[in-house]
Amino acid sequence: MKTFLMLGGAALVLAATPAMAEQDTDRAGDIQVKVLGTAVLPDGKITSVNVDLVGLPATTQTKANDNFVPTIAVEYFLTDSLSVETIAGVTQHDVDAVAGLPGAELVSDALLLPATVTAKAHFDLAGVKPYVGAGVAYFMWLKDKPGAATLPLGVTDTDLSDEFGFALQAGVDVPIGDKGFGLTFDAKRYFIDTTARWYAGNTLAIETKHKLDPWVLSAGVAYRF
């Protein structure tokens, strides 16, 4: 992890130097659009219990399920070696207990919009173009429902908090021919939490903080113009 952070920071600093900017302005202003298949692999474990009126077992622990979704990335090149990218897509997850109440569904159909902007440094290795990047993210929950296991406890509503975090990124673009088409492979690691709240009527019955920190792995096609 420390190595990933150091490489990402070093590459971004190098990409921003005036010398590199002067050398790589031939394709400044290009836009690259990527259509991707994306695996979203979150953690979801409890890091703290703030409110517990129902008496959760002391060993209670949770996991958010993985999901596979289509996504689109749009990238603007400031120079040929420095770009800014954003992604578009939503992903849906359940949160289940894996200890204490194993198998209990606690959150159902939570729909996440992971708004993300990253700055990327690109390199050219014999025509293959690896990159590293880093940026900010805002996880916005568009909807969520109480899990089936919480309904017998009188839970009527569930809320997951929207939160800011950051992301590290690495990948490679593989051009196909000279018309702007290519293949692309991308990996992001997010660092972000959420606070989950379960309500019984107007009463806050349970409040827990969860580490999300998903890996987001993508592969697809790209077009640069």
For the chain, domains (ranges, CATH) are 2-224 (2.40.160.20)
pLDDT at 14 over 90: no
Mean pLDDT value across residues 140-167 = 94
Residue with tokens 């120079």: 79
Check residue 51 and give its pLDDT. Answer: 95
Q: What is the pTM of this model?
A: 0.84
In the chain, what is the straight-line distance between the N-terminal and C-terminal CA atoms, in Å? 34
Q: What percent of the chain has pLDDT over 90?
A: 80
Check residue 153 and give its pLDDT. Answer: 86
Q: 81 and 24 in contact (C-beta within 8 Å)?
A: yes
pLDDT by residue (tens digit) across 57-111?
Answer: 989 999 999 999 999 999 999 998 999 999 999 999 999 999 998 989 999 999 9
Strands (E), the chain: 31-41, 45-52, 61-64, 67-79, 82-88, 91-99, 105-122, 129-146, 157-160, 163-175, 181-191, 193-200, 203-211, 215-224
Check residue 195 and give its pLDDT. Answer: 97
Q: What is the rounded CA–CA span in Å between residue 144 and residue 94?
A: 9
pLDDT at 10 over 90: no
Check residue 136 and give its pLDDT. Answer: 98
